[in-house]
Amino acid sequence: MKDRLIGEARAAMARAYAPYSNFPVGAAILGEGGGIHAGANVENAAYPQGQCAESSAIGAMIMAGERRIREIAVMGGQPGDGLLCTPCGGCRQRLREFAAPGMTIHVCGPEGLRRSFTLEELLPHSFGPGNLAF
């Protein structure tokens, strides 16, 4: 399944709208029900109005009727640059809303997998839905 997610993230990255940063990013989520939901970053001339690939993929997952993330692949960067295009802080929190701390995040470049993390590794001691259980 990891290879399929990486392929979907690659396809999403190719469809990104990134005319300002020239840094396209794609993401593909495996939902709890088995669906794969992809998204790309969408930039805007008014920078704060842009949308990250992970956020786009979460929206696609919600619209498909799923509510939990089992696994995600995020792809960005240039071939061979070796840099890790990890989810930004805001997206880490967005992922936490729909995923357990042990959920796997595959960080990829155009050539494929660069490293895998758990959400807990990228967002330790997170604030999530359980913190609001009274």
Q: Are 103 and 68 in contact (CB under 8 A)?
A: no
Structural element, H or E, at residue 30: strand 25-31
CA 124/CA 10 separation, integer angstroms: 28
Please indicate whether residue 43 is annotated as part of the active site.
no
Identified catalytic residue from 8, 43, 54, 66: 54
CA 107/CA 5 separation, integer angstroms: 11
CA 69/CA 50 separation, integer angstroms: 23
Active site residues: 54
